[in-house]
Amino acid sequence: MYQRIFLIVLDSLGIGEAPDAKDYNDLGSNTIGHIAESMDLNLPNLKSLGYGNIAPIKNVEAVENPKAFFTKIQEASLGKDAMTGHWEMMGMYITKPFKTFTDT
């Protein structure tokens, strides 16, 4: 089967709002989409891996034969911080959200 798996986690490079965006005052969030609309984005390596196949991104077209498997995930755990997401990817389900500091 596979001899190696590389997991690329792009923290803070959101690709559209989550179903619970309203709960976290995140409606309309789409970091990569907003960046792509405001500048001439050029991501040839991510494009070749299939990044443009996840959702429409200006200048990052979908490819017919991506060089990797790709996905967009939605946390099942409670919380919205990076550590919760990282732990969940490794098999831990978080039932009590960590404290976050959003009033900065």
Q: For residue 57, which amino acid is it?
A: I
Would you state the pLDDT for residue 104?
63
Q: Which residues are CB-contacts of 49 (< 8 A; sequence separation ≥ 6)?
A: 8, 66, 67, 68, 70
Model pTM score: 0.76
Average pLDDT over residues 16-29: 87
List pLDDT tens digits, range 51-82: 999 999 999 999 999 999 988 888 888 877 88
Contact 95, 77 (CB under 8 A): yes
**5 or 102, which is more confident:** 5
Task: Return the domain boundaries, the chain.
Answer: 1-72, 74-104
Burial class of residue 76 (count of CB atoms within 10 Å of its CB; 0-12, 13-18, 19+) = exposed
- Rounded Cα distance, 50 and 19, in Å: 23
